[in-house]
Amino acid sequence: MIMSLSVFSGLIWLALVLTIATPVLLLALLVKDFISNQVW
Amino acid sequence: MAETLTTEYALSTELGLTLVVLFGAAWVLFGYWLGRKNKTHEDFALAGRNVGFAFAAATAMATWVTSNTTLVAPQLTYQFGIWGMVGYSFAALGLILFAPLAKRIKTLLPNGYTSGDFIRLRFGRMSWHVFIVISVVYAFGWLVSLGMAGGILLEALSGLDYHLGMTAILIICVGYTLFGGLRAVIATDFIQALIIIIGVSVIAWLLIDNVGLDTIHSQLGSDHPKLLDVLFPAAIMFLFNNIFFGLGEIFHSNVWWSRALAFKKNVAFKAFLVGGLLWLPIPIVTGFIALAAPQLGIFPPSPDMVGPTVAAGVLGQVGAVVVFIVVFSALASSLDSLLAATSDLVTRDIYHKHLRKDASDGHLMRFNRYTILGLGILTWLLCMPRIATLGALLNFAGAFVASTIFPILLGLYNRRLPGRYAAAAMAVGTAVGLCSYFVIGFYVAALSSCAVSGLICAVGVWRSNEQFDWQQLDEKPDSQSPQTDKEQLQ
Amino acid sequence: MPGIIRILTIIITVLPVFFSAAEAQLKELALEGPSAVVKEGYFTLNLTGTASDENYQQLEIEQSTDENFTQVESRFPFLGNFTQISLSGFNNGNYWFRARGQSSDGTEFTTAPIAVTVQHYPLWQALTLFSIGAVMFLIVASYILLAARKGGRRHG
């Protein structure tokens, strides 16, 4: 049973978008910790 | 095309060496700067037990992004196709399921240092011995394979001599761990995580742009149909074994326990949960790189070379620089964590609890540093001969670590599991897992080990009438009065 | 010690020069593949009998369904100077492979064909193992979730 092109592309794009969102989220969290003085 | 890839390396040796020296110097200086604040052994080993959410989530994620995610995820995708990359990404379940455990660990052992502490206090000496053997086999297997991967990769990309590259990466990681302790490890993890994610995203993006998903899909469908097959038998068999391997790695290893103990109390749970969720899509992105290989006419000599080869082959010099930095960061973020966690285990469990019970705090901190140095040198010596089979050690490490899943779980939540059953579960589980690895195949090692150890634990719980007192886990530090600690727990 | 290694290196690099002339005709390039039936759909092919200093050109693997290669179905180029190649994603079936290429002096060669049989694990076997794994995973995951809720209440 071959995975169809649409499912295949969907999977890759979804993973890529989520991956790209990660650094943004991590940096936002760090800024938040920094402001509230909760880094360490 | 093939000519340029081989007779010349993707990067010049000078550029490779320059990158290593630049990154190395930056990290060692950063580690030194972070280490200024370390006053006590607790500061050094557990970053003062006060790591905030951003660093906690990033370090959970980055440490789990090992060289395996950048090298083995493409390899498994090249061999097992869609299920290879999706299956590999399910290793995130290890981090996600560890989230409640981390919270529990923080509650039960507010003054604990290592996973060995827990096993000793909960199950006694016999289990502790079995557990230390498992931990050491796993830690050294991983350390040596990371050191070797570093040397091999630097050589493959830039022609830098294996021994030189391997030595450089070990010196750098030992250097900043030595200066900065866990604080340096966690802060560099944060930066390394950002580098890794941006790097793999750029490579995947450029691949989609240059080659196209539809071209990749149709090429695979005609020449390598099994890679797109949702019912690929070997890949289906590999799936849960890989998940249990991951669970065993995380549940037993002091790399994760020391993080749970170092995080702020209300942060431990959500940091592991978020770290796991963030990690989930990454192996799909790195694995996808391998699926483009056939369309590009790249057929590597061995499957573990597929990721870097495709990236460097398609994107030329820039791609090679990106791959170089990404893999270097991934190696460093795991190597430093392992060095720190293993040296904690040696300092705390073997030295402090068995050899020098009266050691002062400053003495322990010094000993911890010597241990990091010693581990680095030992790893270096083991990496020197470049024995290919040592890398294969990690393949059957699954049998070792999966046997610890149930003893740890029941040890944390169930009062009835007696120590002798936990010891037997780990020992017999490992033995059965190893046998099935050699007799049946790699895809049953972790599964059978976990199943057998689980059965032994179940018998233990069923037959015992022990009622373990959780208070026994809260070992008082020598300096503090027991009274204040008890109040803290309630 | 380094002295010995250097001498050995010289011997190893020089030796083939003495023999290559005599051996040029004798040396048989051959393709080696998996000896047993392939159950995972991936395998490695090796070109043996190669000289270490030789730089083969346009080295590639040809694939066909019959021994005589009446129709070449796929071609897989080797990566650079490597004489080993990993292929993956094959369905059940019998495949014939041979290596083609050019020595640096321009002589073309084709190796004798070899057969590789791919027979994947039966699906029921894979699904049985999958189900066992799934059940075990559910046990672990539900135990953690239940215990964490209980433990959380007690200690909260």
Closest alpha carbon to B55 in B340, B335, B256, B263: B263
Provide the token pair at B318.
């820039």
Residues 207-236 of B with CB under 8 A from A: 208, 213-214, 217-218, 221, 225, 228-231
- Split into its structural domains, chain B has a count of 2
For residue B24, the number of C-alpha atoms closer than 13 Å in the C-beta half-sphere is 17
| Chain A meets chain B (3+ C-beta pairs below 8 A) | yes
Say which of B224, B409, B412 has its CB closest to residue C88.
B224
Contact: B52, A16; criterion CB under 8 Å: no
**Ordered DSSP codes for B143-211:** HHHHHHHHHHHHHHHH---HHHHHHHHHHHHHHHHHHHHHHHHHHHHHHHHHHHHHHHHHHHHHHHHHT
Min Cα–Cα distance to chain B from C67, Å: 19
Min Cα–Cα distance to chain B from C123, Å: 6
Domain boundary among B338, B364, B391: B391
B360/B407 same-domain check: no
Beta bridge partners of C45: C85
Contact: C80, B2; criterion CB under 8 Å: yes
CA distance B295 to B447: 35
Residue found under tokens 């019998």: C94
Whether residue B284 lies within 8 A of chain A, CB to CB, comes out as yes
Q: Would you call C89 helix, strand, or coil by DSSP? A: coil
Residue found under tokens 């460093």: B332
Between helix B162-210 and helix A5-35 the angle, nearest 10°, is 120
B119/B33 same-domain check: yes
Whether residue B205 lies within 8 A of chain A, CB to CB, comes out as yes
Q: Determine, yes or no, domain membership for B478.
A: no
B359/B459 same-domain check: no
For residue B367, the number of C-alpha atoms closer than 13 Å in the C-beta half-sphere is 19
Whether residue B33 lies within 8 A of chain C, CB to CB, comes out as no
| Cα–Cα–Cα angle for C29, B222, C34, rounded to 5 degrees | 35
**pLDDT by residue (tens digit) across B217-267?**
999 999 899 999 999 999 999 899 989 999 999 999 999 999 999 998 889
Contacts of residue A27 in chain B, CB cutoff 8 Å? 194
Contact: A15, B281; criterion CB under 8 Å: yes
All chains having 3 or more CB pairs closer than 8 angstroms to chain A: B
B275/B329 same-domain check: yes
Give residues with Cβ within 8 angstroms of C44, minimum separation 6: B301, B302, C33, C34, C84, C85, C86, C87
**pLDDT by residue (tens digit) across B70-107?**
778 898 899 999 999 998 999 999 999 999 999 999 99
Q: Determine, yes or no, domain membership for B68.
A: yes
Chain C: residue whose CA lies nearest to B221: C89
Contact: A22, B47; criterion CB under 8 Å: no
**How many residues can be counted in chain B?**
490
Min Cα–Cα distance to chain C from B453, Å: 12
B442/B357 same-domain check: no
B84/B222 same-domain check: yes
Are B185 and B34 in contact, with CB atoms under 8 Å apart?
A: no
Are B62 and B190 in contact, with CB atoms under 8 Å apart?
A: yes
Contact: B297, C77; criterion CB under 8 Å: yes
**pLDDT tens, residue order, chain B (490 aa):** 333 344 356 778 888 889 889 988 988 888 888 888 788 888 888 888 889 998 899 889 888 886 667 778 898 899 999 999 998 999 999 999 999 999 999 999 988 889 999 999 999 999 999 999 999 988 888 888 888 888 877 777 777 888 988 899 899 989 888 888 888 888 888 888 888 888 889 889 988 998 899 999 999 999 899 999 999 999 999 899 989 999 999 999 999 999 999 998 889 999 999 999 999 999 999 999 999 999 988 998 888 778 878 887 777 777 788 888 888 888 888 888 888 889 988 998 889 988 888 888 889 989 999 999 999 999 999 888 876 554 456 668 889 999 999 999 999 999 999 999 999 999 999 999 999 998 888 889 999 999 999 999 999 999 998 899 999 998 876 544 333 333 333 3
Whether residue B44 lies within 8 A of chain A, CB to CB, comes out as no
B291/B425 same-domain check: no
Say which of B51, B225, B285 has its CB closest to residue A2.
B225
CA distance B414 to B34: 40
ipTM over 0.90: yes
Domain with B418, as residue range(s), is: 396-472
B344/B461 same-domain check: no
Give residues with Cβ within 8 angstroms of B10, minimum separation 6: B157, B158, B312, B313, B316, B317, B319, B320, B323
Q: Would you call B404 helix, strand, or coil by DSSP? A: coil
Closest alpha carbon to B101 in B46, B60, B142: B60
**What is the Cα B179 distance to its own chain's centre?**
21
Contact: B285, A16; criterion CB under 8 Å: yes
Give the domain CATH number at B150: 1.20.1730.10
CA distance B264 to C114: 62
CA distance C40 to C88: 8
Domain C27-120's class? mainly beta
Contact: B240, C133; criterion CB under 8 Å: yes
Domain boundary among B391, B413, B436: B391
Long-range contacts of A33-39, Cβ-Cβ distance < 8 Å, separation of 24 or more: A33/B52, A33/B53, A33/B54, A33/B55, A38/B52, A38/B53, A38/B264, A39/B52, A39/B54, A39/B55
All chains having 3 or more CB pairs closer than 8 angstroms to chain B: A, C
CA distance C144 to B313: 45
Min Cα–Cα distance to chain B from A10, Å: 10
Whether residue A22 lies within 8 A of chain B, CB to CB, comes out as yes
B313/B173 same-domain check: yes
Alpha helices in B211-281 (DSSP H): 213-223, 233-252, 254-262, 268-279
For chain A, give the longest Cα–Cα distance: 53
Contacts of residue C131 in chain B, CB cutoff 8 Å? none
B404/B380 same-domain check: no
Q: Would you call C105 helix, strand, or coil by DSSP? A: coil
Q: Determine, yes or no, domain membership for B306.
A: yes
Work out the number of other CB atoms within 10 angstroms of the CB of residue B409: 22
Give residues with Cβ within 8 angstroms of B351, minimum separation 6: B359, B364, B367, B371
Closest alpha carbon to B453 in B67, B82, B216, B127: B127
Where do the structural domains in chain C lie, given as residue ranges? 27-120, 122-156
Provide the token pair at C99.
């290596």
Whether residue A32 lies within 8 A of chain B, CB to CB, comes out as yes
Provide the token pair at B311.
């990236």
